[in-house]
């Protein structure tokens, strides 16, 4: 009998399609959000806060070294809040959702796009939150949180969101 053609190197492990989708979404967010002028130089830092999850692996594999405009993408992992610095995007893993509120406060001046992945993350300060609608991975946006971080969300990104909170 033939086997799954899309298994990982361990034959009983499936391809982590969810993480691939999330990583690609994060990349598209980077292309559809406008950062203040002072953040448009140097490296473009995408941080993953929490464990080095499959999303982190995907970001490294697919985007490390690529560019957003003239900025080179650098992917970093943080396990301690104090280490988080200079991120353009910070993806907060599900198990660290409770730390979103304090992260939001401390990263306000860094214009960091906080991305969560648990229901209620927008209320804790995330600007974009991954949600599942039907059978698909979608996202919701909080425009007030974006404004507080001096980030401009492109109309296209908002139009394609499952939900937008003003």
Partner 1 sequence: MRFIKYISLIVIGLSFNQAYSQWTGTAYELYKNQKFEEAKVAIDSAVSSSERFDSQTWQLRGLIYRSIADDDQLYYRGIAMESFVHAKKLDSTGIYTAKINEYLKRTVLLYYNDAVTLLTEEIEFDKAEQSYNTYKKHYSTLVDPAYNFDQKDTEFYNAMGVEYLNKAEDFELSKKAELREKSIFYCLKTIAIDSLHYQANYNIGIVYYSIAVDYITSVDPEITIEQLIMNQKRAEEAFLKAIPFLKTCERLNADDINVKIALMGCYYGLNNETEYLIYQTVVDLYYISSYLDTYKKDPTDQENLKILIRIYTVTLPDSAEAEKYKNELHRLQDE
6 binds partner 1 per the rule CB under 8 A = yes
CB of 76 to partner 1, least distance (A): 13
- Residue 61 tokens read as 């594999």
114 sits in the region (left: phi over 0; alpha: psi -120 to 50; else beta) called beta
Q: Show the site string, 79-98: x = touches partner 1 by CB under 8 A, - = not.
A: x-------------------
Closer by beta carbon to partner 1, 60 or else 107: 60
- Residue 110 tokens read as 């860094």
Listed in sequence order, the residues at least 6 apart from 144 whose beta carbon sits closer than 8 Å to its beta carbon are 165, 166
For partner 1, the binding residue among 158, 160, 164, 165 (CB under 8 A) is 160
Polymer length in residues for the chain: 166
- Residue 149 tokens read as 């971080």
10 binds partner 1 per the rule CB under 8 A = yes
Maximum separation of any 2 CA atoms in the chain, in Å: 58
Q: Show the site string, 106-125: x = touches partner 1 by CB under 8 A, - = not.
A: --------------------
5 binds partner 1 per the rule CB under 8 A = yes
Q: Is 47 helix (H, G, I), strand (E, B) or coil?
A: strand
Q: Which residues of this chain interact with partner 1, rule CB under 8 A?
A: 1-7, 9-10, 12-18, 20-21, 24-25, 27-28, 31-32, 51-52, 62-63, 66, 79, 132, 134-137, 156-157, 160
């Amino acid at each position: 009998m033939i086997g799954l053609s899309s298994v990982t190197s361990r034959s009983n492990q499936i391809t982590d399609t969810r993480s691939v989708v999330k990583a690609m979404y994060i990349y598209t967010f980077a292309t559809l959000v406008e950062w203040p002028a002072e953040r448009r130089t140097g490296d473009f830092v995408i941080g993953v806060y929490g464990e080095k999850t499959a999303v982190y692996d995907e970001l490294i594999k697919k985007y490390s070294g690529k560019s957003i405009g003239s900025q080179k993408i650098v992917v970093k992992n943080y396990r301690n809040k104090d280490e988080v610095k200079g991120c353009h995007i910070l993806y907060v893993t599900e198990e660290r959702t409770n730390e979103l509120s304090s992260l939001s406060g401390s990263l306000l001046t860094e214009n960091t796009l906080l991305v969560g992945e648990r229901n209620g993350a927008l209320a804790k300060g995330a600007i974009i939150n991954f949600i599942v609608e039907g059978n698909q991975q979608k996202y919701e946006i909080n425009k007030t949180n974006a404004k507080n971080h001096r980030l401009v969300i492109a109309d296209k990104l908002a139009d394609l969101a499952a939900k937008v909170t003003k």
